[in-house]
Structure 1
Amino acid sequence: MADGDSIFIGASRKPDDSYNRPEQLLLKYGNRHGLVTGATGTGKTVTLQVMAEGFSLAGVPVFCADVKGDLSGIGAMGQPNDAMRKRAEDVQFSPYEPRQFPTIFWDLFGEKGHPIRATVSEMGPLLLARLLDMTDAQEGVLNIAFKLADEEGLLLLDLKDLQALLANMATRDKEIAARYGLVSKASIGVIQRALLVLETQGGNHFFGEPALRIPDIMRTTPDGRGMINVLAADKLMMNPRLYATFLLWLMSELFEELPEVGDPEKPRLAFFFDEAHLLFDDAPKVLVERVEQVVRLIRSKGVGIYFVTQNPLDIPESVLAQLGNRVQHALRAYTPREQKAVRTAAETFRPNPDFDCATVITNLGVGEALVSTLEAKAVPSMVQRTLIRPPLSRMGPITDAERAVSMTMSPVSGQYDRTVDRESAYEVLQKRATDAMAKEARASEAEAPAQAGTRGRWTLPDFGGGESGSAPQTRRAPAQRASNRQTVAEAAIKSVVRSVGSQVGRALVRGILGSLKKGF
């Protein structure tokens, strides 16, 4: 519970195994970020729920992802049992009164919450390239696409806008190459196929309008409590790259849109990044540098980022060094990597002479954690073995009926439920293509009469052609040819003549030859 200037997390354990020293997170250092780690089933989700409740009671809005579905209970009245009451008594958490917290449910797919969208332009080429797992060459083509869109005033709102622009670039590859360098049609084809895969995985639900407005996740209630925004991520985790890219985009949007506020008395927003290892798995160096920059600078915007993951080794050292508030649940040390994780976790705490940190980490019970928060002058407190207080809201998921009622009464009900498809790159490029085809058709129709007027005419003087504008001359009908066929009578007469001619010829030859013989 928030006690004026702090959030009660639990009570630390004394050498006699009693818990009496309260462990609190000072609100003035809530924007110095934090880390919650531990093996599966050790209580990370409950700790996240406890911290979110504390921020909400202090008037700080919260954004968190519900990866397993059981965090949704934060929007329902708590149902305490004997074990929870016993724990509240052990940590001197009183009065222990179950409560219901103001909650807004979101869902990229629009099934378990209000649809949450971003435009392709807002995502940008760097995050989109990460989402599509592109090579450097393909990322270069994507950067050119965004540059062309800016120059030609093309709005990139949804996936079909980007697909239309890429198809247009393929027809203009030589023109574009002369300005920006080689644009390979093969690279364009790879990007188009990747966009198709993203679309089939539900990416078309995420890209579009109306895009999420940052003020809508930074609301407070009339009684001063911060709204808790819960992102349904159980289905989203089937595409972990989309999940990580979306949360990184949201962090970047907060960084770019919010004004500088320095070090306020309490954060303007607490942002919990569950399954944070997905953000850094196989991430290129430029992306890790981007995350480091956002984490380092967003503190001055009044935003506290809390990474939740199983292993502290999941977080790069450059980012880990900036996380001042830490809660470490139990880790197992069965493998060499797990043993290294235990040593790493132990070395990041300010030592406590009462116990060996590395040994305690492997012996923590469910609901226990090593806790170190920032004290006065932002100095890390000595690590303490802490029993986490029970949550005030329900532990476990809410029913579908309860979720539907919550969505109906939500302050953003009706604002994001319908997709808006205004004129953008797809419509503009389609219109350009239609206009070009119509122009070409008109040009073809204009050429057709001229070609028809000269077809079949001589164009040389005195050979059937005339002066321009003269009437065309008519052709003379060709003379009829005599038939080559013979009648029966004609054939008989010709046969007789040939026979007679042959006999006369032979007689003359004999007579001439005979006269010649007598002369000799």
Structure 2
Amino acid sequence: MYTEDKIRIGMKDNGENIYLDPSMACRHGLIAGATGSGKTITLKVLAESFSEMGVPVFLADVKGDLAGMCMPGRETEDMQRRIEKFGLREAGFDLHGYPTVFWDLYGSKGTPLRTTITEMGPDLMATVLGLNDLQTALLSIIYKIADDEGLLLVDTKDLKAILNHVSDNHKEYEENYGKIAPVSLAAIVREVVALEMKGAEKFFGEPAIDIRDFLSTGPEGRGIINILDSSSLINDPTLYSMFMLYLLAELFETLPEAGDLAKPKLVFFFDEAHLLFSGASKDLLSKIEQVVKLIRSKGVGVYFATQNPSDIPDGVMSQLGNKIEHALHAYTPAEQKKVKAAAEGLRENPEFNTYETLMALGTGEAVVSFLGADGVPGFAQKVAILPPQSQMGEIDEATRSREITGSKYHEKYVDPYDPDSAFEFLKRKGVEEEEARAAAEKAAAEEKEAEKARLAEEKEAEKAQLAEQKAKEREEREAQKAQERAEREAAREKEKDARKVKTAAKSVGNSVAGTVGRELGKSVGSSFGKFGKTLGGNVGASIGRGIIGTLFKL
């Protein structure tokens, strides 16, 4: 509880109260202990105390037993005994609920929490995706291309769209952005799909969370206790780590440097932190360590709750100045070694053996060590943890629903919307390019058909002209042949007429020549008598006809 400007955590066996100095709360902390040892109660007491002093709190509720902080605690007989034991009545202890806002990445048990791919940033996105150095460099180039071309990267489909777009057009981008390997881009796409299969598509979208909404206060100036239902989220440590790391990184980017403050601006509690680190890659662990180390300069405290201190990586553990360790059980040599390491991580108190005490603690008891005002860890102290003022355990669905819808942030974030981002732009661009390509192909086809028709028409015209020319030539040949036939016929007729004349002339000539020749022959042969006369007439007629025949042959 918050009293005397300090956080009262518990009481030693001798009645001495143990406090956490709010000015040291940004030095982060650890709440460890086996199942059932009282970690959740301690976490609630701390969260309530921060809220009382006006410091907002963010809790990752893995089991659902932190939801009761919105309701006042019940004054049972056990609660009355504890109030009496710690003398809380005199300190102003009362049972009441705290201003609470429920969040849920999946939107079922709280107001949806979302961010965008752009806000996640290339470095953190690459870490979450587990990319190698080459792929990380390419992802940074993808972000740069998106910025240069004014493309919004809101959700995973936007990221896949631009990855595929750059891969398809990598030669066009290489002139300005260097070598881009499509194979590496395809590998990144596969990692994005794998992340989607884990439910990440619900985390990316609009409206994105305004990190400053976690820094608000409620009635009476109490800090808002933001409870993230992680009962489903914790099933995938990668997604859980991604979200928590994003919140811390976003706070680091958003908040100004604060220096040393009298109290934190915001306190984070990561319950079941062993799930946060279990199976995390080396790069992811390094990123978490870096953020935890730097975030305290912004006035943000981070507290990890886990079953064993060994669940926290050494690089992170070294940043945790305030420790509350409940009972640690050890049944094997390996487990005993871990408990001894946990005991050695606390400043030894000569009044008791830390190792043995950790093994013997009862429920609600813890060994604590807090940083003093000078920043030096205090001696380990065995204490009984105070009871919480709010309800312990879960709440019914009606109460949860009332708290969710009654939040001032519910209306702001409940309804998702999909803005005109890279996916829509590139899809529209693809459609336009396809339409332009189709139009060009259609125009080319039409031009080809027109050219084909023109050539066919020219061919037909040429064919018709050739046919006409052939017909004309055929007509000319026929006319020529007819003329020649006519000429031949005329020649034959002329020749025929000539032969007729010749024959007639020859006949007349033969007759005349025969007569003349006969008469001459008779005259010549008459000197030889009658026989000579007759012979001379016949010879003379024959010679006369021969002469005439020879003349008609010439």
TM-score of Structure 1 vs Structure 2, range by shorter chain:
0.7 to 0.9
Match of 2:147 in 1: 150
**What pairs with 1:30-109 in structure 2 (closer than 5 Å)?**
30-94=25-89, 95-109=92-106
Q: Given the alignment, which residue of 226, 245, 248 partners 2:223? A: 226
Match of 2:423 in 1: 426
User: Secondary structure of the residue that 1:415 maps to in structure 2?
Assistant: helix
User: Secondary structure of the residue that 1:411 maps to in structure 2?
Assistant: coil
- 2:285 is the counterpart of 1:270: no
User: Secondary structure of the residue that 1:414 maps to in structure 2?
Assistant: helix
**Unaligned ranges ≥5, structure 2:** 472-554
User: Secondary structure of the residue that 2:412 maps to in structure 1?
Assistant: coil
Aligned partners of 1:379 and 1:25: how far apart in 2? 13
**What pairs with 1:227-246 in structure 2 (closer than 5 Å)?**
227-246=224-243
- 2:184 is the counterpart of 1:168: no
Aligned partners of 2:364 and 2:415: how far apart in 1? 42
**What pairs with 1:247-258 in structure 2 (closer than 5 Å)?**
247-258=244-255
Deviations 1:393-450 (A, max 9, x none): 1110011000111112212130000112111101111121122122222322333343
Aligned partners of 1:188 and 1:77: how far apart in 2? 53
Task: Work out the number of aligned pairs and report it.
Answer: 468
Using the TM superposition, give the Cα deviation of residue 46 of structure 1 relative to its aligned residue in structure 2, in angstroms. Answer: 1.0
Aligned partners of 2:171 and 2:281: how far apart in 1? 30
Aligned partners of 2:149 and 2:368: how far apart in 1? 54
Aligned partners of 1:420 and 1:450: how far apart in 2? 46
Aligned partners of 1:315 and 1:200: how far apart in 2? 28
**What pairs with 1:420-499 in structure 2 (closer than 5 Å)?**
420-455=417-452, 474=464, 476=466
Match of 2:410 in 1: 413
- 2:314 is the counterpart of 1:351: no
Using the TM superposition, give the Cα deviation of residue 261 of structure 1 relative to its aligned residue in structure 2, in angstroms. Answer: 2.0
Match of 2:5 in 1: 5
Aligned AA for 1:216? D
Using the TM superposition, give the Cα deviation of residue 33 of structure 1 relative to its aligned residue in structure 2, in angstroms. Answer: 1.0
The percentage of aligned residue pairs carrying the same residue is 46
Match of 2:540 in 1: none
Deviations 1:479-510 (A, max 9, x none): 99xxxxxxxxxxxxxxxxxxxxxxxxxxxxxx
**What pairs with 1:16-415 in structure 2 (closer than 5 Å)?**
20-94=15-89, 95-177=92-174, 179-180=176-177, 182-415=179-412
Aligned partners of 2:290 and 2:188: how far apart in 1? 28
Change (3 A) 1:149 1:330: same
Deviations 1:219-266 (A, max 9, x none): 112411111000000011122210111011000011110112211211
Aligned AA for 1:245? M
Match of 1:490 in 2: none
Deviations 1:24-59 (A, max 9, x none): 111111111111111222111111111001111111
Deviates further, 78-87 or 443-452: 443-452
Aligned AA for 1:2? Y
Aligned AA for 1:240? P
Aligned partners of 1:264 and 1:187: how far apart in 2? 46
Give TM-score, length-normalised by structure 2: 0.79
Using the TM superposition, give the Cα deviation of residue 81 of structure 1 relative to its aligned residue in structure 2, in angstroms. Answer: 2.2
Match of 1:503 in 2: none
Using the TM superposition, give the Cα deviation of residue 282 of structure 1 relative to its aligned residue in structure 2, in angstroms. Answer: 4.2
Aligned partners of 1:364 and 1:437: how far apart in 2? 72
Aligned partners of 1:335 and 1:135: how far apart in 2? 39
Using the TM superposition, give the Cα deviation of residue 178 of structure 1 relative to its aligned residue in structure 2, in angstroms. Answer: 5.3
User: Is the CA contact (8 Å cut-off) linking 1:4 and 1:58 kept in structure 2?
Assistant: no
**Unaligned ranges ≥5, structure 1:** 15-19, 481-520
Aligned AA for 1:424? S
Aligned AA for 1:443? A
RMSD: 2.5
Deviates further, 237-246 or 445-454: 445-454
User: Is the CA contact (8 Å cut-off) linking 2:104 and 2:113 kept in structure 1?
Assistant: yes
Q: Which has the higher helix share?
A: 2
Using the TM superposition, give the Cα deviation of residue 140 of structure 1 relative to its aligned residue in structure 2, in angstroms. Answer: 3.9
Match of 1:493 in 2: none
Using the TM superposition, give the Cα deviation of residue 92 of structure 1 relative to its aligned residue in structure 2, in angstroms. Answer: 2.6
Aligned partners of 2:451 and 2:154: how far apart in 1? 53
Aligned partners of 1:102 and 1:457: how far apart in 2? 84
Change (3 A) 1:275 1:475: farther
> Which one has more relative contact order, counting CA pairs under 8 Å at least 6 apart?
1
Give TM-score, length-normalised by structure 1: 0.84
